[in-house]
Amino acid sequence: MDHQDLSSLKCVHCGSVFNISRSNYVCPKCGGLFEVVHRTEEYSLDTDSRGVWKYRPLIHPSIPQEMIVTRGEGNTQIYKSERVSQWSGIKSLWMKQEGENPTGSFKDRGMTVAISEAKRLGRKSTICASTGNTSASAASYSAIADMESYVLIPSGNISESKMAQAVSYGANIIDVPGDFDAAMSYISNLAEKNQKYYIMNSVNPWRLEGQKTITFEIVEKLGDCDFISLPAGNLGNTSAAGKALKELKNWGIISHVPRIVSVQAEGASPFYNLWSGRDNHLVPVKAKTIASAIRIGNPVNWEKALISIKYTDGIVTKVSDDEIMDAKRVIDRSGIGCEPASAASVAGIRKLVEEGTIDRTDRIACVLTGHILKDLASMPVSNRHLSVGSFIREIGS
Ligand SMILES: *Cc1c(COP(=O)(O)O)cnc(C)c1O
Ligand SMILES: [Zn+2]
């Protein structure tokens, strides 16, 4: 058997199958997105590795070890907090802190697989559109792999700390007038015409293979919990989680499938509209929310994400910016901390508990997608600040 036959690319829309070395990103027959399918018939691990690449047989079984570009992604901690449990109404609530990844977000899990595949294909340049974290991660991994990186940033619409990472890691920055969706549509057009740049956005199905490992780690740690809650922007994580759960079920690792909760920001909730309405096609919106990482009005992965929600009998919900920032304050105060978009995962759970959709006794894993330092502009400033003089008066000495 040809080594490469271990995996292939399959169109999620029409089911056509292609060789993995094909360089397009969408199906030439119908324009649907590809997913990677593996012939792997059983659950097996690479026990010499930790984190993402421990799951190599399940995410990229045929990649040679020497092609793997890694800086130790994944294997993040999972936390419980009395404070967050009280606020959300869920006693058995865990938070998986993806901010502990090398560049401070879950994007590294997908990026290590995508950049390794770029190396396997002999590519020299990478490109992505980004609200910030993708560019930080893509720039870092491209530098490590000695590739040139290009990042398209919505002008004036990105957090300074994320931008600082991309710049420092050496990316070529391209300012796009408009929002993330404008940058993304530029990338999609370019990719089909120009093979020079390897796309690092989540239309690249290898990104999602890496991101499956969030779910693998949750299940390994908690067993089959009742819900996995994710903030939802471009819908890569929602897609990847559903794929991971389906594979775990097929391999017999879980008997009961956790339900995915996909949480959008109210001002950027086209997927919520699709799920709750009568349309069977996503209708893009103009996105507006404080949570810049999910400020996306035309998510590329909606079709895959819908498959995930249906497969897991999942729920799509939306929360306001105030609810997001309330959740962030509680998560920050608990000592764990996250960026605004991440807090949507916990805010969504509180809302569903209040609505009675989720039971207070359910076991829930919330994914905190990005680090607290990622977005300093939205840091709360309401803490007590005392002068030394008033502190001395207060302690009475
Ligand atoms: C990219 C990102 C998201 C959105 O994830 P999708 O998979 O695109 O839905 C959410 N939070 C953070 C911190 C991110 O960086
Ligand atoms: Zn197709």
- The yes-or-no verdict on residue 125 having pLDDT over 50 is yes
Identify the CA nearest to 60 among candidates 134, 110, 127: 110
| pLDDT tens sequence across 49-69 | 999 999 999 999 999 999 999
Count CB atoms within 10 A of the CB of residue 234: 27
Instruction: Name the band, by pLDDT with cuts 50, 70 and 90, for residue 383.
Output: confident
User: For 78-102+206-378, CATH number?
Assistant: 3.40.50.1100
**Ion ligand 2: residues, Cβ under 5 Å:** 11, 13-14, 16, 27, 29-30, 32
**What CA–CA distance (Å, rounded) separates 311 from 250?**
12
Identify the CA nearest to 158 among candidates 380, 392, 374, 396: 374
Per-residue model confidence (pLDDT) at position 342: 98
Ligand 1 neighbour 235 (Cβ under 6 A): yes
| pLDDT tens sequence across 300-329 | 999 999 999 999 999 999 999 999 999 999
Ligand 1 neighbour 270 (Cβ under 6 A): no
Report the residue among 33, 95, 97, 106 best suited for mutation to probe ligand 1: largest number of ligand atoms under 8 A from its CB.
106
**What CA–CA distance (Å, rounded) separates 134 from 147?**
16
321, 289 contact by CB (below 8 A): yes
Reduced to 3 states (helix: H, G, I; strand: E, B; else coil), residue 85 is helix
CA of 132 to the centre of ligand 1 (A): 10
Q: Cα(first)–Cα(last) distance of the chain, in Å?
A: 80
Under DSSP, the state recorded for 258 is: P
Ligand 1 neighbour 105 (Cβ under 6 A): yes
| pLDDT tens sequence across 151-199 | 999 888 888 999 999 999 999 999 999 889 999 888 888 877 778 899 9
Ligand nearest to the CA of 97: 1
Domain boundaries, the chain: 78-102+206-378
**What CA–CA distance (Å, rounded) separates 160 from 23?**
33
- 91 alpha carbon, distance to own chain's centre: 25
Q: Please state the pTM of the whole predicted model.
A: 0.96
Ligand nearest to the CA of 11: 2
Report the residue among 133, 151, 180, 213 best suited for mutation to probe ligand 1: largest number of ligand atoms under 8 A from its CB.
133
Please name the helix (run of DSSP H) or strand (run of DSSP E) that holds residue 322, with its range, or none.
Answer: helix 321-333
